[in-house]
Amino acid sequence: MLRMFLLSTTLLVALFNPLVSAQDADTSAAAEDAAVAAENAADAAQDAADAADEAAEEASDAIGLDSPGDAVDFVTKWTDKGMTWLEEDGAAFALKLLMFFVILLVFKILAGALAGLTGKALSGAKLNVSDLLKTFATTTVRKVVFFIGLIVALGTIGVDVAPFLAAAGVLGFVVGFALQDTLGNFAAGIMILLYRPYDIGQVVTAGGTTGKVTAMTLVSTTMMTPDNQKVIVPNGSIWGGTITNITAMDTRRVDMTMGIGYGDDIDKARAVIERVVTAHELVLKDPAPQIEVSNLGDSTVDFVVRPWSKTGDYWAVKFDLTKALKQEFDKEGISIPFPQRDVHLFKED
């Protein structure tokens, strides 16, 4: 039995020994790979540290620092310079800075006062200037005065404004070239401001739009259409086309056309129209209404009916007279023909 046990043990050792050797070989290879990776990481860290040291040395060389003591001397040097400047020039600079803000405040108050005086002068003048001109003048005065104050204030603190003005000129040229259309609208706004073809609150037809002018700038005009749509029209489109100011005058003529049949009495129809028109309370007596036969149409004898009314009563007069004339024609037996066509059929044998 002992001999059989020893034989079995020997066989098992012989079988598992190659497996153990293979596993040990794999473990050794993995360990070697890990060691190589660790060595590479250490080299990378060392390279980074060397780069940081070189950057620090370059920075130190740039500002003249070779040691921590030099850094302390550098900070001390600039601190001393700052303290010396404060002792010698700090009070003077603080006074200049105070004067800078005081001048800005004074010119801001002066700009507001001059703008207010300009607005009052234009409002009280007999020139009947437009609201747009008043707004433009007051805004321009305010901005120009404040800009002058800014130039004066910068001069008090020793700032040379000549380079800024030159840069502003160049910038203005570039912006002007890029915004040619906007500048065209601006120029058109100036022309509208000077010639005043319309003003805020008036109803106009301009730029392909009919509406009440609610706001005006030097670039665009805002209108409100009869169906309550807000339309913003560039001033260039307005000034470059026809402008019709519908409400510029106090009175307007209401143009209407009434037709009667060829079999109706013309004199009777004219008398009825005249009676209805003159009886309306919103129709003006002077100028007198014009009622004349104007056209002999295909199926009607046409009258032009042209009463006058105040501009604000235009639509009320037009709607009321249209209704009243139709009702009165019906009462008097006067016909209002409508187009008719007779069709004749022929049967060929």
CATH assignment of the domain containing 327: 3.30.70.100
Q: Is the same domain home to 237 and 255? A: no
Residues 269 and 277: beta-carbon distance below 8 Å: no
Among the listed residues 107, 111, 121, the one whose alpha carbon sits nearest the alpha carbon of residue 142: 111
* Main-chain phi, psi angles of 148, to 5 degrees: -60, -40
Q: What is the CATH number of the domain that holds 238?
A: 2.30.30.60
Residues 196 and 207: beta-carbon distance below 8 Å: no
Residues 212 and 224: beta-carbon distance below 8 Å: yes
Residue environment code for 113-132, b if the CB has 16+ CB neighbours within 10 A, otherwise e: eebeebbeebeeeeeebbeb
Q: Is the same domain home to 255 and 328? A: yes
Q: Is the same domain home to 215 and 166? A: no
Of the ranges 79-88, 153-162, 240-249, which one carries the lowest mean pLDDT score? 79-88
Integer CA distances (angstroms), 46 to 32, 33, 50, 55, 57, in order? 21, 20, 6, 14, 16
Among the listed residues 190, 191, 222, 195, the one whose alpha carbon sits nearest the alpha carbon of residue 209: 222
State yes or no: pLDDT of 61 exceeds 70: no
CA distance 97 to 93: 6
8-23 mean pLDDT = 44
Q: Is the same domain home to 111 and 156? A: yes
State yes or no: pLDDT of 24 exceeds 60: no
92-102 mean pLDDT = 80
In a domain? residue 6:
no
Instruction: Point out the domain boundary residue: 178, 210, 237.
Output: 178
CA distance 104 to 154: 10
Range of the domain at 218: 199-245
State yes or no: pLDDT of 256 exceeds 70: yes
274-279 mean pLDDT = 95
In a domain? residue 295:
yes
Which residue shows structure tokens 């019709």? 244
CA distance 324 to 256: 13
Summarize pLDDT for 295-313 with one digit per residue, the tens: 998 889 999 999 999 999 9
State yes or no: pLDDT of 4 exceeds 50: no
- Angle, helix 162-178 to helix 180-195, in steps of 10 degrees: 90
Q: Is the same domain home to 328 and 255? A: yes
Q: What is the mean pLDDT of the chain?
A: 79
List residues bridging with 257 in a β-sheet: 304
In a domain? residue 29:
no
254: left (phi over 0), alpha (psi -120 to 50) or beta: beta
The strand pair at 256-260 and 244-245 is best described as: unpaired
Q: Is the same domain home to 261 and 314? A: yes
Return the ∠ at Cα 207 (arms to 202 and 213), rounded to 5°: 20
pLDDT given for residue 313 in this prediction: 95
pLDDT given for residue 80 in this prediction: 65
State yes or no: pLDDT of 204 exceeds 70: yes
Token output for 309: 């009314």
Among the listed residues 256, 258, 343, the one whose alpha carbon sits nearest the alpha carbon of residue 302: 258
pLDDT given for residue 151 in this prediction: 83
pLDDT band at 217 (very low <50, low <70, confident <90, very high): confident
% of the chain surpassing 90 pLDDT = 37
Q: Is the link from the previous residue into 18 a cis peptide, with omega within 30 of 0?
A: no
pLDDT band at 38 (very low <50, low <70, confident <90, very high): low
In a domain? residue 23:
no
Q: Is the same domain home to 300 and 316? A: yes
Residues 339 and 298: beta-carbon distance below 8 Å: yes
pLDDT given for residue 139 in this prediction: 85
CA distance 81 to 101: 27
39: left (phi over 0), alpha (psi -120 to 50) or beta: alpha
pLDDT given for residue 66 in this prediction: 53
Q: Is the same domain home to 227 and 255? A: no
State yes or no: pLDDT of 170 exceeds 90: no
Q: Which segment, 72-86, 141-155, 248-262, 333-347, is predicted with the most confidence on average?
A: 248-262
In a domain? residue 152:
yes
Q: Is the same domain home to 269 and 315? A: yes
Query: DSSP letters of 128-140?
Result: ---HHHHHHHHHH
Of the ranges 24-38, 124-138, 248-262, 334-348, which one carries the lowest mean pLDDT score? 24-38
Q: Is the same domain home to 220 and 292? A: no
In a domain? residue 328:
yes
pLDDT band at 159 (very low <50, low <70, confident <90, very high): confident
Within a 10 A sphere around the Cβ of 3, how many other Cβ atoms?
7
Domain count, the chain: 3
In a domain? residue 230:
yes
Q: Is the same domain home to 278 and 240? A: no
In a domain? residue 68:
no
Q: Is the same domain home to 229 and 171? A: no
The strand pair at 230-234 and 308-310 is best described as: unpaired
